[in-house]
Structure 1
């Protein structure tokens, strides 16, 4: 019996150890999409909101953020979205994040064929594979988006986020295919590209259309780049400032520009993306304490927010549960009854 007890003990201990070893913190999954447009496999990294697989609530649909340079930005960006979407302090709705890993970055993100001599070796020509952004955006719109919509629960609202060449790409898509995304983020965009061709395109767009499309947002961050002012990228700052002047003078785009003192081209995206998401979803945050006396205010604020965004948003079931807990614990019975009815209306129980 003693030996059998030892064997049982060892078996139980090993099972427990193995089980504990399998506990992992997962921030996403990798998928591969074959692109007929680009004639290649594209690796994408997908982060789902914390409530996506929560079986205690009804399955919900989520906005989607398409993140360029996924291999550089995905890990911090996934955590960032979770942090600022947490109830009851949410500044943004929970979002699905789709990071797109690069294959030929210059080819995919630049709008025109343009070359430049290396600043450190004039015998070397840079960017010889440039000018393929139209094919890349076609891949995103016609192949990647349908793949995401087919495999995940998505809402209609989408955001495109890019940095440097990715920021150049985002602004180009806004000008050439504004209907593809609802909002655009360009962190320290390379608007110097091809003799500032994007500045010309912006002027031409406004000359033709007079104003930017309704319900679109653009956030642009600008790095201090103090060290870069001494070298070949010094035209980065001037081109961003020119673009800022054109857009702000027109005044028809929901636009924000932020200059980050002390940040470099390589570090500005972190702060830029935080500010960008808060700007894009401005008005999403509500004050739970106000609903005790005026419960109807929640629906009124979501209606106002939806009208501004051009897409319908409703309070999440998770947030309604938090509100109900607050009303119950503080004995706001009338408001509690109101939110019970609202929850049943928005998220009816299924048999």
Structure 2
């Protein structure tokens, strides 16, 4: 074989090798379909697994689950955001499984009551005629979707419900009617104007009956600048959110935060709202790796405080302990390195 032919064959080999490499894909998640007997229809679910989920170098871990409404709109950015915020050594949250729920009949599923609202341009037309099916939808999530996720994936007993607009309305309604279903709730610009502010009445009734919300529950409400940006087109929404805020803050029993986003409108507020909501819900999760070098016991103390706050037992992940050990070793903190090595073997013994 002459040198010219060898040269051509080598270049062909390199070309196909590069072509194969160029075709490797970055996967955000996977789609699953399950049939709901409650809703009598197939539902498509999008699932994002944490980066360490299939890491064979660590013990199989269990992960909290975030249930994301309007999955077809929010899934891709939320998956990337959750990975970013869970990346050690500056993780603001634990790694989580993200479950995006794709819509079929959005108004039906997310609204708590049947609407009798007439069209402002034609009094013979009733708006949102297919509304009022949220109780069936939450049954689907609690009785069918959650068991499906728990059966097929490694889940920790901690879950978050995230919604926007009608989805935010749904999240608040679930908090009022079934607060035990989720540990934390996120309502981005919730449509609390719905049905003559029916959820405002339900909130008052709930607190009159129960006095307080259950312990360890979290609610984050993001409010867009709808009136300023849209020339008062949505003043009913603004008034309802403000009224809800006043009731919740006056009661004071809920881990609650409301944030007004003056530079965001209804269609954009969920992006920054979801980012800030995660940091609020998981505040106290992040530990200072530099402080651990001088006080290694601080890690367990802070995780204990965070667990007490959330009502769920959280432990430092094996991945984070590996990062801490690498930091201690590279900076020659021998005593701290031994402490964290012993802690790792205690929490994650080799099989």
> What TM-score bracket applies, with the shorter chain setting the length?
over 0.9
- Compute the displacement of 1:329 (Å): 1.2
Partner Cα separation in structure 2 for residue 143 and residue 207 of structure 1:
32
- Compute the displacement of 1:228 (Å): 3.5
Q: For residue 196 of structure 1, what is the aligned residue in structure 2? A: 197
Q: For residue 246 of structure 1, what is the aligned residue in structure 2? A: 247
Query: For the Cα contact (< 8 Å) 1:84–1:90, is it kept in 2?
Result: yes
| Pairs within 5 Å for 1:126-145 | 126-145=127-146
Q: For residue 328 of structure 2, what is the aligned residue in structure 1? A: 327
CA shift digits 1:78-109 (9 cap, x unpaired): 11111111101111001110000000000000
CA shift digits 1:133-159 (9 cap, x unpaired): 000000000110011111111100000
Partner Cα separation in structure 1 for residue 12 and residue 148 of structure 2:
44
Q: For residue 157 of structure 2, what is the aligned residue in structure 1? A: 156
Partner Cα separation in structure 1 for residue 22 and residue 121 of structure 2:
50
- Compute the displacement of 1:9 (Å): 4.3
Q: For residue 205 of structure 1, what is the aligned residue in structure 2? A: 206
Partner Cα separation in structure 2 for residue 297 and residue 149 of structure 1:
32
Query: For the Cα contact (< 8 Å) 1:228–1:234, is it kept in 2?
Result: no
- Compute the displacement of 1:54 (Å): 1.2
TM-score of the aligned structures, taking structure 1 as reference length: 0.95
Structure-2 change in CA distance of 1:19 and 1:341 (3 Å): same
Partner Cα separation in structure 1 for residue 345 and residue 215 of structure 2:
34
TM-score of the aligned structures, taking structure 2 as reference length: 0.95
Partner Cα separation in structure 2 for residue 56 and residue 237 of structure 1:
50
Q: For residue 125 of structure 1, what is the aligned residue in structure 2? A: 126
Q: May I ask how many residue pairs the two structures share in their alignment?
A: 349
Partner Cα separation in structure 1 for residue 6 and residue 292 of structure 2:
60
Q: For residue 64 of structure 1, what is the aligned residue in structure 2? A: 65
1:267 aligns with 2:286: no
Partner Cα separation in structure 2 for residue 61 and residue 348 of structure 1:
16
Q: For residue 339 of structure 2, what is the aligned residue in structure 1? A: 338
Partner Cα separation in structure 2 for residue 57 and residue 11 of structure 1:
39
Partner Cα separation in structure 2 for residue 96 and residue 119 of structure 1:
43
SS where residue 55 of structure 2 aligns?
Answer: coil
SS where residue 341 of structure 2 aligns?
Answer: helix
- Compute the displacement of 1:290 (Å): 1.0
Partner Cα separation in structure 2 for residue 336 and residue 209 of structure 1:
49
- Compute the displacement of 1:318 (Å): 1.0
Q: For residue 301 of structure 1, what is the aligned residue in structure 2? A: 302
SS where residue 289 of structure 1 aligns?
Answer: helix
* Structure 1, 15-24 or 274-283: larger mean CA deviation: 15-24
CA shift digits 1:292-327 (9 cap, x unpaired): 111111001101100111111000111111111111
Partner Cα separation in structure 2 for residue 333 and residue 227 of structure 1:
57
Partner Cα separation in structure 2 for residue 340 and residue 242 of structure 1:
52
Partner Cα separation in structure 1 for residue 271 and residue 36 of structure 2:
30
Query: For the Cα contact (< 8 Å) 1:30–1:43, is it kept in 2?
Result: yes
1:46 aligns with 2:47: yes
Query: For the Cα contact (< 8 Å) 1:168–1:186, is it kept in 2?
Result: yes
CA shift digits 1:266-286 (9 cap, x unpaired): 000001001100000010011
Partner Cα separation in structure 1 for residue 341 and residue 53 of structure 2:
22
Q: For residue 35 of structure 2, what is the aligned residue in structure 1? A: 34
- Compute the displacement of 1:166 (Å): 0.3
Taking only aligned residues, the RMSD between alpha carbons, in angstroms, comes to 1.7
SS where residue 77 of structure 2 aligns?
Answer: helix
Partner Cα separation in structure 1 for residue 148 and residue 6 of structure 2:
54
SS where residue 136 of structure 1 aligns?
Answer: helix
1:21 aligns with 2:17: no
- Compute the displacement of 1:236 (Å): 0.2
1:112 aligns with 2:104: no
Q: For residue 174 of structure 1, what is the aligned residue in structure 2? A: 175
Partner Cα separation in structure 1 for residue 168 and residue 135 of structure 2:
15
Partner Cα separation in structure 2 for residue 121 and residue 325 of structure 1:
68
SS where residue 305 of structure 2 aligns?
Answer: helix
SS where residue 190 of structure 1 aligns?
Answer: coil
| Pairs within 5 Å for 1:82-97 | 82-97=83-98
